[in-house]
């Protein structure tokens, strides 16, 4: 029995920590023993209240291509710092143009984390020529890792878009890059009839115009006429699209039991990164990783929808060799009868393809 499709998850996903030094430009290099050029970099100041910074290789580098997961603003609005280059084993951060300069990426009094995903293979789809979808798209994809970055221009009419993967997407994080709009999030557990909003605590919102009431396929996803996915005036969109890969990534859901001995969530790997959202009621998007919290119980939480500095819950969850365990009764992760979704990436598969098991923390 094969336990994993990827023996070394750090070839495709890595977290990186650093402490600021006020340099106007600084190369951030990964520590692991092989190269990984990231295509999506998500930066957050841990010790100070400052917006998240999201940049990717499809839109480009520099201050004109910055997005914030905690805000509705479009591209080019983060003047406090940016990612100025992607390199073969890391990335470069550079100062911004306001009086705080490096606050978002390299302030000398602050600590930072970046979460990094590799795509790497460019694609362009002329829908009328290929017959795949009805709206043209471009992007970068890594089918092995179940990740693509997809860009398109809105038409205002129901349509379909090639996403680049050969598998069915299970989560799609989408932003209108030119205007003030909500981040819309499709997840397989919540379905195609509406959305979650990455920049908001809101529960699942019904709106069939987002995805035209149609589930994605292994080649395309559907969009309707909604401002957040396919507006009529030629506005540009970016989507970060994932499907689960055995032993490396998992998108799923659970129902809380309201007990300090909470549910165990099986992923098939030892988690490196987990993002959680309650879907039936308001709550934050909580993000945890193995670099900021190196032992159980896992604390050091950041929220995708706020600029808040890192907090450290006194209890919560354990990262285990084959999943994660909930150890609190709070509504954020384990309300009685409450519904939750998660996206997780691996530090190690539970068992490698050669039979080597993951060790406990």
- Tens-place pLDDT, residues 153-176: 999 999 999 999 999 999 999 999
CA distances (Å), origin 308, targets 45, 334, 355:
9, 22, 42
pLDDT of residue 314: 58
pLDDT of residue 301: 93
Report the candidate in 347, 115, 325 with the shortest Cα–Cα distance to residue 247. Answer: 347
Write down the pTM of the prediction: 0.96
The mean of the pLDDT values for the chain is 93
pLDDT of residue 1: 47
β-pair partners for 83: 93
Q: How many CA atoms lie within 13 A of 75 on its CB side?
A: 18
Report the candidate in 245, 248, 209, 249 with the shortest Cα–Cα distance to residue 230. Answer: 209
First-last CA distance in the chain: 25
Q: Please state the rounded mean pLDDT for residues 314-332.
A: 87
pLDDT of residue 293: 86
Q: Which residues contact 65 (CB under 8 A, 6 or more apart)?
A: 55, 56, 59, 75, 76, 82
Q: Please state the rounded mean pLDDT for residues 239-252.
A: 98
Q: Which residues contact 355 (CB under 8 A, 6 or more apart)?
A: none
Residues 33 and 162: their CA atoms lie apart, in Å, by 34
Residues 272 and 96: their CA atoms lie apart, in Å, by 30
Q: Which residues contact 356 (CB under 8 A, 6 or more apart)?
A: none
For 58-100, the pLDDT digits (tens) are 999 998 899 999 999 998 766 789 999 999 999 999 998 888 8
pLDDT of residue 128: 97
Lowest mean pLDDT among 2-6, 67-71, 145-149, 239-243: 2-6
Q: Is the pLDDT score of 30 beyond 50?
A: yes
pLDDT of residue 2: 61
For 254-311, the pLDDT digits (tens) are 999 999 999 999 999 999 999 999 999 999 999 999 999 888 888 889 999 999 999 8
Q: Is the pLDDT score of 357 beyond 70?
A: no
């Amino acid at each position: 029995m094969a336990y994993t499709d990827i023996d070394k998850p750090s070839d495709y996903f890595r977290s990186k920590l650093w402490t600021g030094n006020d340099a106007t430009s600084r190369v951030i290099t990964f520590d692991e023993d092989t190269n990984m050029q990231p295509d999506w970099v998500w930066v957050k100041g841990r010790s100070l209240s400052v917006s998240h910074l999201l940049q990717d290789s499809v839109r480009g580098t520099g201050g004109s291509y910055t997005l914030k997961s905690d805000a509705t603003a479009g591209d080019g609005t983060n003047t406090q710092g940016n990612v100025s280059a992607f390199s073969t084993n890391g990335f470069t951060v550079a100062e911004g143009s306001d009086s705080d300069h490096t606050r978002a990426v390299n302030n000398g009094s602050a600590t930072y984390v970046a979460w990094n995903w590799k795509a790497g293979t460019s694609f362009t789809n002329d829908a009328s020529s290929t017959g795949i979808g009805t709206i043209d798209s471009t992007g970068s994809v890594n089918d092995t890792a179940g990740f693509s970055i997809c860009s398109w221009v809105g038409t205002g009419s129901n349509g379909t878009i090639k996403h680049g993967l050969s598998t069915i997407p299970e989560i799609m994080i989408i932003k209108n890059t030119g205007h003030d709009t909500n981040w819309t999030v499709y997840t397989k557990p919540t379905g195609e009839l509406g959305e979650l909003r990455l920049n908001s605590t809101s529960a699942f919102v019904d709106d069939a115009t987002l995805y035209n009431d149609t589930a994605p396929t292994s080649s395309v996803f559907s969009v309707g006429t909604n401002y957040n996915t396919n507006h009529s005036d030629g506005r540009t969109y970016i989507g970060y699209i994932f499907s689960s890969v055995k032993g490396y990534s998992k998108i799923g859901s659970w129902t809380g039991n309201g007990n300090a001995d909470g549910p165990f969530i099986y992923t098939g790997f030892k988690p490196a990164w987990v993002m959680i959202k309650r879907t039936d009621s308001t709550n934050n998007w909580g993000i945890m990783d193995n670099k900021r919290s190196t032992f159980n119980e896992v604390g050091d939480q950041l929220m995708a929808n706020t600029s808040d500095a890192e907090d450290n819950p006194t209890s919560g969850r354990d990262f285990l060799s084959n999943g994660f365990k909930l150890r609190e009764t709070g509504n954020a992760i384990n309300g009685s009868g409450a519904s939750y979704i998660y996206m997780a990436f691996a530090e190690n598969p539970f068992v490698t393809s050669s039979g080597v098991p993951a060790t406990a923390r």
